Amino acid sequence: MLMTDIIAKKRDKIELDEKEIGFFISGAADGSIPDYQLSALLMAIYLNGMTENETVYMTLHMARSGDMLDLSALGDKTVDKHSTGGVGDKTTLVCAPIAAALGCTVAKMSGRGLGHTGGTVDKFESITGYKTSITTEEFLSTAEKFGLCITGHSKNFTPADSKLYSLRDVTATVESIPLIASSIMSKKIAAGAKNILLDVKYGNGAFMKDAASAEILAGEMIKIGNNLGRNTRALITDMNIPLGRAVGNSVEVKEAVDILNGHGDKRLTELCIALAANMYSLCFKCDIEDAKLKARRVIDDGTAFKKLCQSVSALGGDCDLLTGKRDFPAADGSIDIYAECNGYISDIDSMTVGKASGTAGAGRETADEKIDYSAGIILHKTYGDKVTKGEKIATVMGKRQKISDAALLLESAFSYSGKRPPEKPVVYKMIERI
């Protein structure tokens, strides 16, 4: 089989078969196919798209290119949740313990943040002692015992996807729906859960800029999941304004704890309840509204927070940081931001807030860059809140030499209006079958 023949077929809009897709995915993983040929094929896919069969085959072979988890010993109530990336998105820290408290098994491998979006692994690593690199046996035993285990990916997790992802970034082929969908779903398939919930975000702080584009991406991923034997569902959610009041790492952990204790931002709580209810509904085939009531119940009785503490302790994390017996390390410095005028906050640009948090030290631009877990942003006022000129609306925290630039960025994220802006529903739509 020749790579030039595969490139020519895709160039001429002819469907590739599974053997051809398996050939180039294997070559991407082991380095036997040169970058220039892989790049040529990626461009042909970008220009001509992929059929449903091609996308499924590509996803499956990328998943099989490295380590694959077998969760069958944990039963058929295993569930994974994936977010397409956002600002202030600490939902996994909330919805996963809720789902576990309801009887689901959340055995989840998560990634680190890059650019303006945060990573779940980074947030957990801000908890002193928490191990995000563990053996498969430890991962499975923790998930079996507590119904919840969240850790990082192994080094040999979907290596073909890692190779193609890096090439897409330098060949202007990132914005291909089949390539995005197969990249995301290959990791979900390799992670082994029977049920998959996708949180597909849209807006200025998300990769997909509008709801229609997010729906298209969600539809592609649902088809892949269902074709590969996974119960797959998606929520289309708004990312035009940051999620909650905290953006960073340890500050987001603290906000997640507040929500699990029945406090915190109403809009973020609503999304976490919706995500957890859908995770439970996928596993137990129950009514969503009933699932939401049960989700609120395990928050109110403390069961969900207990699940988080148990799973954190099991992986070496200091639970005193969650219960408040001990404080997270404080940032080196902070700068407050004040309202420019009287009125209402009519917009908070998520992308700008994410960049400001990164500038303060809470994010990274390259995969090997170290982050400051204490850095971040607190939004004292958010979208729709009434403010008076000179009132404190936000605080940026981090290294003293970094926070001045971060504060200037953060200040520019806020817009004001003389009248209260309309409410923005956080959940736009649920999609299950295409």
Active site residues: 82, 161, 168, 183, 187
Could you give the CA distance from residue 44 to residue 57 in angstroms, rounded to a whole number? Answer: 17
CA angle 287, 288, 292 (to 5 degrees): 120
Could you give the CA distance from residue 119 to residue 371 in angstroms, rounded to a whole number? Answer: 11
Q: How many CA atoms lie within 13 A of 369 on its CB side?
A: 14
Any idea what DSSP says for residue 348?
E
* Residue found under tokens 């304004």: 241
Could you give the CA distance from residue 78 to residue 365 in angstroms, rounded to a whole number? Answer: 33
Residue 96 and residue 79 in contact, taking contact as beta carbons nearer than 8 Å: no
Strands ordered across the beta sheet of 386-387: 386-387, 343-348, 414-417
Question: Beta strands 195-202 and 79-83: pairing type?
Answer: parallel
Any idea what DSSP says for residue 231?
E
Q: What element of type H or E holds 238?
A: strand 231-238
DSSP state string for 279-318 = HHHHHH---HHHHHHHHHHHHHTSHHHHHHHHHHHHTT--
